[in-house]
Chain A
């Protein structure tokens, strides 16, 4: 079993389309230029409904993280990507916003707040591209 397909949301498709071609695309407000993450129909700054997709350099740093050492919810049993121990991290992109992702190719001892990371894209499941991050010391895939 692989990870479930992300929830279909009206404005998320542009983000997922970016992942399919190995890009982090931010939904940027056409009026005030604030980026909207998670994607949404209305700018929380200026209430504009206009936006465009802008590809950004996906580097960032680890803002905070946790390690799931046990599985607490049977819904996640048997998902290869989420076999304990795995981390869930908040990545603060250099481009501004923060997002939730897994940092891959990192040990429990290595992962730290402030660690520099760059994005990695798993497009093996065509309908559900996965965005991950790896430490900047590791090569880009």
Chain B
């Protein structure tokens, strides 16, 4: 039996909302989340009373308590929950569990925050080894890129292409945080922060809100817009860390790939890919581990233009976390829904009916991927 096959196509995203990302002076996380939730309800054509589950999330002390959120909007859900380390995919996976089990019919996933230093401070503030000065999640990813370069002969050209592509896409996204043009020269002129990463390789924190409403498939078909079905989810915890021979090359992703793909859908069927890109190196490493290209060959794939909007596998058309906004993986799901509905405007990927999301969490210990499809794919 396929892993988590009990979820397959039984739950759909019916409504999404997101505020502009960037700075929001004077607004708190709850106000930003509320604006996103109102937009998502209107998007779904649902009254707030129809929500019988509300999920929030908490990251590094900032986040949304779902009980407080429910009180704020005047609803009485059957189930609430809040994930610690509730990045986007982890939270939508739990919403799907609630719905597929019959505990809830319609669940709102709600997140928002207004962190200090929006648009300026590096994401990933965390300390791993105080004695030796090993801190910030970006440094962990940089370890992986150093290893990748040594093992496969890859170069900074890969990262430059990722950063420039993200910005080019963000300039087509009216909600994106970073919209100033970025040229290759700008990238190479940017000083190193944690070699091999420059500042432009690391996502900056941003303020914003996001809401994703999910419903049981039979309810989803009566909502305002075409449902976007959750086809599959793969998740793997891999806490053995340094004992794994290639821990920094994110091989935990391979276990997730084995779960998320099915006899119907493999990497060759994916039309648009969302990669949680807290740093540029996440993109080449994800492409290799999920089988979008051969191990060690991501530089040719990326520099050859495959991930560009007009390429054969567009990645993060909204600008991702690097340029679109860092809302800990939530916005990727909003973008995949908009792409699969054909609502992405100037950044629309042509004929997008299968979208995939991939993320890595904590000290490279927690991997998740989800695949979303339109009705046409499995009907």
Contact surface of A with B, Cβ cutoff 8 Å: 3-4, 6-7, 37, 44, 63-70, 72-73, 75-76, 79, 81-82, 85-86, 88, 90, 97-102, 108, 112-114, 128, 130
Nearest-neighbor residue (CB-CB) of B144 within chain A: A64
Q: Assess whether B131 is in contact with A70, with CB atoms less than 8 Å apart.
A: no
In the complex, the number of residue pairs spanning A and B with C-beta atoms less than 8 Å apart equals 90
In the complex, what distance in Å separates the CA atom of A73 from the CA atom of B122?
A: 10
With A68-B139, A114-B150 in contact, is A79–B192 under 8 Å at CB?
no
Q: Which residues of A contact B379 (CB under 8 A)?
A: none
Is B188's beta carbon under 8 Å from chain A? Answer: no
How far, in whole Å, are A68 and B150 apart by their CA atoms in the complex?
Answer: 19
Residue of chain B at shortest CB distance from A102: B132
Q: Which B residues lie within 8 Å of A100 (CB)? A: 128-129, 132, 134
Given contacts A63-B248, A72-B194, 7 further A-B contacts (CB under 8 A): A44-B243, A64-B143, A66-B195, A68-B193, A90-B248, A97-B243, A99-B242
CB contact under 8 A between A64 and B248, given known A44-B240, A97-B243? yes
Contact across chains for B127 and A75 when beta carbons are under 8 A apart: yes
Q: In terms of DSSP, what is the predominant structure of the interface of chain B? A: mixed
**Would you give the shortest CB distance from A33 to chain B, in whole angstroms?**
14
- B146 interface residue (CB < 8 Å to A): yes
Contacts of A70 in B (CB 8 A): 191-193
1/0 contact string of B298-320 vs chain A (CB within 8 Å): 00000000000000000000000
- Count residues of chain B with CB under 8 A from any CB of chain A: 31
**Bound-state Cα–Cα, A63 to B125, Å:** 24
Cα–Cα distance between A75 and B134 once the two chains are bound (Å): 12
With both chains docked as a complex, state the minimum distance between the C-beta of B199 and any C-beta of chain A, in angstroms. 9
Report how far A82 CA is from B240 CA in the complex, Å.
27
- Structural contact, B130 and A7, CB atoms closer than 8 A: yes
Give chain B residues whose Cβ lies under 8 Å from the Cβ of A99.
Answer: 242
Shortest C-beta distance, A50 to chain B (Å), equals 19
A88/B132 contact (C-beta < 8 A), A69-B191, A69-B193 known: yes
Find out whether the CB atom of B130 lies under 8 angstroms from the CB atom of A68. no
CB <8 Å contact, A67 and B147: no
Residues B126-180 near A (CB distance < 8 A): 127-136, 139, 142-144, 146-147, 150-151
29 contacts between A and B (CB under 8 A): A7-B130, A37-B242, A44-B240, A64-B147, A66-B143, A66-B146, A67-B192, A68-B133, A68-B139, A68-B194, A69-B192, A69-B193, A69-B195, A70-B192, A72-B135, A72-B136, A73-B125, A73-B136, A75-B127, A75-B135, A88-B134, A90-B143, A90-B242, A97-B243, A100-B134, A102-B133, A108-B195, A112-B150, A128-B131
Q: Report if B196 contacts A (CB, 8 A).
A: yes
Closest residue of chain A to B138 (Cβ to Cβ) is A72
**Assuming A90-B248, A99-B242, is B150 touching A66 (CB within 8 A)?**
no
Determine the chain B residues whose CB is within 8 A of the CB of A44 once the complex forms: 240, 243
CB proximity to A under 8 Å, residues B229-248:
240, 242-243, 248
Rounded to whole Å, the gap between the CB of B149 and the closest CB of chain A is 8
Q: How far is the CB of B285 from chain A (nearest CB, A)?
A: 13
* Chain A proximity of B249: nearest CB distance (Å): 9
Q: Which residue of A lies closest to B193 (CB)?
A: A70
**Which of A4, A63, A64, A101 contacts B130 (CB under 8 A)?**
A4
Are the C-beta atoms of B133 and A97 separated by less than 8 Å? no
The answer to whether B135 and A76 have CB atoms under 8 Å apart is yes
Interface residues of B in 187-227 (CB under 8 A from A): 191-197
